[in-house]
Amino acid sequence: MSLVPALRAELEFLPSPDPKHPGVLIRDPLGYSPSVLVIPPALVHSMPLLDGQHDLEAIEACLASLGVPRNERRDEANALVQSLAEAGFLEDANFWSLRERAHSSFQVAPVRRAAHAGSSYPESRAALDAELHRYHAHTSGNGVSASKRPPMAIIAPHVSPFGGVRGYVRAYQRLSPQLADSTFVILGTSHQGAPERFGLTEKPFETPFGRTRAAPALVKELARASPSAVSLEDYQHAVEHSIEFQVVFLQHTLRRADIEVVPILCGAFLDSLISGRPPEDKDEVRAFFDALSELYAKQRDLVFVLGVDLAHVGRRYGDPRAARRLRGEMLEVEAIERERLDALFRGQTERFLDLVTQEQDPLRWCGFSPLYTFARAVPEARGNLLHYDQWNIDDDSVVSFAAAEYHTEPA
């Protein structure tokens, strides 16, 4: 019997939110497939066999060990494999066709369309404007005092806006419409992108507020300086939210849609997490840091926006215990994170690297690569923490985030 194709590694697996349909929910964060499947508990046990090394009979044997009647095993095994294949969740011809179609569509698209409008935030301009105004109106001004001077960089969350309201508001309160003519370099986490690489695009971003202006000359300059580290017209831009959310907040804050944006997705620095060595030990990564540094030195009207989250703790992320916002072990997490941020904001980049890479970062800071990239590109910048918070993304799991500002001279 032929082997069953492997289940795609980049799929997202979550507990089913519907108690009437328990099991594991599967969806495609890369957007190749719009399908969402819920796999029943009995079939979940057989999913480790979907590794490309087992056939249908192995799945049937697993079902037999779980007490599934003989006359139902074949049908259930077939139904599982067929549903996954039709959804584009297996590494088969259907998936590769879906992938090629998605990549080709993004390559030829004139703009980067809003991928998360209608799900993470309203898709109509009026509703979105009203919602963001409510965020500002209902968010208290508590937090660390900000500098009176406009910052040259801010840190904001990229968690869902309704979960990170205070962080977004505290960060974007530091920007004013007078900055609307600046060029905004947005460094975002590339959650699914290739490690040690930077995803660029020359496309303008389109949101319910309108269309940004692209900066193709600056994008080309970065790509020329470090071609081995850059993925130009990176498909990750089509689906990634870490930059999209910043564009929406920038447009709303500056009261202008056609702001100039240089969007940079930062892949994980996996080699550093494993080895503890600085990312710039790789020549191509160092070249990109240098190129970004030179860009800032030549064009001082740049404003950096870092769309980052911090810790990811709890059962959703593979931890054995549930996590609760600012309770129990999450208070210890806060202390660790404040120490990391303090080193970062003081310009102690080597210490920051050591703190994050200890034990390969059990806190799973997905914002590590954008934060470190900025620290190396503008080493003279010093930060000021404006707000720290945690959010229960579900009952058992927490994401933390911060708002901060940067200046290059003493306040």
pLDDT of residue 364: 97
Longest dimension (CA), the chain: 75
Last residue of a domain, one of 58, 83, 104: 104
Are 87 and 199 within one domain? no
Does a structural domain hold residue 3? no
User: Sorting pLDDT into bands at 50, 70 and 90, what band is 14?
Assistant: confident
Are 310 and 250 within one domain? yes
User: Sorting pLDDT into bands at 50, 70 and 90, what band is 279?
Assistant: very high
Region 254-282 average pLDDT? 97
Are 260 and 180 within one domain? yes
Which residue range(s) make up the domain with 100? Answer: 12-104
Does a structural domain hold residue 2? no
Are 144 and 178 within one domain? yes
pLDDT in tens, 182-221: 999 999 999 999 999 999 999 999 999 999 999 999 999 9
pLDDT of residue 306: 98
Are 155 and 29 within one domain? no
Are 186 and 282 within one domain? yes
User: Sorting pLDDT into bands at 50, 70 and 90, what band is 19?
Assistant: confident
**pLDDT over threshold 60, residue 328:** yes
**pLDDT over threshold 90, residue 146:** no
| Structural domains of the chain, count | 2
Are 97 and 116 within one domain? no
Are 99 and 124 within one domain? no
In which residue are the tokens 């034990």 written? 359
Are 344 and 224 within one domain? yes
CATH code, domain carrying 288:
3.40.830.10
Are 122 and 96 within one domain? no
Does a structural domain hold residue 29? yes
Last residue of a domain, one of 104, 136, 163: 104
**Residues near 78 by beta carbon (within 8 Å), at least 6 away in sequence:** 56
Region 247-264 average pLDDT? 97
Are 98 and 125 within one domain? no
CB neighbour class for 145 (10 Å; exposed up to 12, middle 13-18, buried from 19): exposed
